[in-house]
Amino acid sequence: MSTPQPAVVVIEDEAQIRRFLRVTLQGRDYRVFEATTGADGLTEVATRQPDVVIVDLGLPDMDGLEVIRRIREWSSVPIVVLSARGGERDKVTALDAGADDYIEKPFGTDELLARLRVALRHAAGGTREKDAVFTVGGLTVDQARRTVTVDTKPVHLTPIEYKIVTVLVHHAGKVLTHRQLLREVWGPTHVEHAHYLRVYMGQLRRKIERDPAQPRYLLTEPGVGYRLVDE
């Protein structure tokens, strides 16, 4: 049985970008539906029920952030932002609004396709089951046994360190903002305490990474948050 082609709705008003995305994605067996305004994009998402949405923030009729928020009122479809706005605050705001990932323009084809693969894996599997064994490179997190190993050697984590790791595993491949991580690990009253994360991430890297200064697994998105690689 052949695998159905994933459907993507592209909400983008720049004709050149739309053409590039259409050619690139159709060449990788995506079904592509396009909209040039936020309003039309919302209609396309509602009627097409796509597997992933790509949205630009600078739309002619409404801010892309508003599009994201409206989609999130009724759908958990993965949303990848493409935007010329490269500031840290723009990224954080988009991710906190409900976007799953953020790619700056100009962007490379390989990066775009990799981010879409991650988004589709999240959509297909939802959040990872608590008894799942997550493995990437030499890192293995076994949530049933509550163990973490690097190159088959056990890593001893504190309860907070382990909680951070499991939250990252649940969202592996996705950028988590400082606020999102703080909310999930420490609770909603600690979302402003970013220094907690810096301390604990430093400790985690010393335990998990071969070279903490050049991490392989626990990546920093400067000014935004952290990402656990998943491939």
Which residue is listed with tokens 């969202």? Answer: 171
Q: Are 200 and 163 in contact (CB under 8 A)?
A: no
Residues 133-175: pLDDT tens digits? 899 999 999 887 889 999 999 999 998 899 899 889 988 888 8
pLDDT tens per residue across span 61-119: 999 999 999 898 888 889 999 888 767 788 888 988 889 899 988 888 998 998 898 88
Domains of the chain and any CATH numbers: 7-125 (3.40.50.2300), 133-228 (1.10.10.10)
117 contact partners, CB below 8 Å, separation of at least 6: 231
pTM of the predicted protein model: 0.68
Judged on CB neighbours under 10 Å (0-12, 13-18, 19+), 174 is buried
Task: Residue 15: count other Cβ atoms within 10 Å of its Cβ.
Answer: 10
Helix H or strand E segment including 140: strand 139-142
